[in-house]
């Protein structure tokens, strides 16, 4: 099977307790997913690690990269595949020193071409632009246009991730603009047909791309 030029990158809801492990299993069983980001807030590290461990195991079983949001120490503790850093979450160089050469390190760059270039120079493995659409996941201060993805792809080899309010209905705009990954949270977990239906719908969109 050839890998589509653009791939799906799931981000957890803030509540990953209860039946969420089963919902993650459902999503990852439904179609190709490149990565899963563990994103919880205001949870002390021991509890976060307890919540993360079954999810990490599910990702490993499906060969999906397990990325920790914001917290390099937690990523190291969990032996995660990588970490995603916001602009206030530390330097990619320090994360690389702590997590090793094989870690996947991503950096939020909002709508800033300058921040993206700085992240690349600091050794990031991917840059994330967004939010492209309205989202309830977090307060939106930056709204880039899709053409920033096209601009990035024309100049740099480093993959770019599109994030923010992405659903089955609006994803094609970002695929057409040359995003390497679509980072999706509510568009999967809140999909009316459930996570599996959402992943299948995204897979159909991504597989319909012309070969790059």
pLDDT digits (tens, 9 = 90+) for 70-124: 999 999 999 999 999 999 988 999 999 999 999 999 999 999 999 999 999 999 9
Is residue 1's pLDDT more than 60?
A: no
d(CA 144, CA 132): 6
Q: In the numeric block, which tokens belong to residue 79? A: 């032996």
d(CA 5, CA 143): 24
In the Cβ-directed half-sphere of 18, how many Cα atoms lie within 13 Å?
Answer: 7
Note the pLDDT of residue 135.
80
Q: Is the peptide bond before 131 cis (omega within 30 degrees of 0)?
A: yes
- The DSSP H or E segment spanning 96 is helix 92-99
Residue 175: count of CB within 10 angstroms of its CB: 21
For the segment 134-141, the average pLDDT, to the nearest whole number, is 75
Give CA angle at 203 (60, 210), nearest 5°: 120
For the segment 3-28, the average pLDDT, to the nearest whole number, is 95
For the segment 55-62, the average pLDDT, to the nearest whole number, is 98
SS3 state of residue 170:
coil
Mean pLDDT of the chain: 95
d(CA 122, CA 37): 21
Q: Among 206, 202, 134, 132, which residue's Cα sits nearest to residue 163?
A: 132
d(CA 189, CA 201): 13
Domains located in the chain, CATH noted: 7-207 (3.20.20.70)
Give CA angle at 204 (200, 206), nearest 5°: 115
d(CA 134, CA 143): 9
Q: For 35-45, how does the pLDDT look when each residue is reduced to its tens digit (9 = 90+)? A: 999 999 999 99
For the segment 15-24, the average pLDDT, to the nearest whole number, is 98
């Amino acid at each position: 099977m050839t890998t589509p030029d653009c791939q799906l990158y799931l981000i957890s809801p803030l509540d990953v307790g209860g039946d969420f492990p089963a919902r993650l299993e459902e999503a990852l069983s439904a179609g190709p997913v490149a990565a899963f980001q563990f994103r919880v807030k205001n949870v002390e590290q021991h509890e976060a690690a307890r919540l993360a461990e079954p999810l990490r195991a599910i990702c490993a079983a499906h060969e999906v990269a397990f990325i920790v949001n914001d917290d390099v120490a937690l990523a190291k503790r969990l032996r995660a595949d990588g970490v995603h850093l916001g602009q206030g979450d530390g330097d990619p160089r320090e994360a690389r020193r702590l997590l090793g050469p094989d870690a996947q390190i991503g950096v939020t760059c909002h709508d800033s071409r300058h921040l993206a270039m700085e992240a690349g120079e600091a050794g990031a493995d991917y840059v994330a632009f967004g939010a492209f659409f309205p989202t309830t996941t977090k307060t939106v201060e930056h709204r880039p246009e899709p053409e920033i993805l096209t601009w990035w792809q024309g100049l740099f080899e480093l993959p770019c991730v599109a994030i923010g309010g992405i659903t089955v209905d609006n994803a094609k705009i970002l695929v057409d603009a040359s995003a390497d990954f679509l980072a999706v949270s509510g568009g999967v977990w809140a999909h009316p047909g459930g996570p599996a239906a959402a992943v299948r719908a995204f897979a159909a969109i991504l597989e319909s791309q012309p070969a790059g």
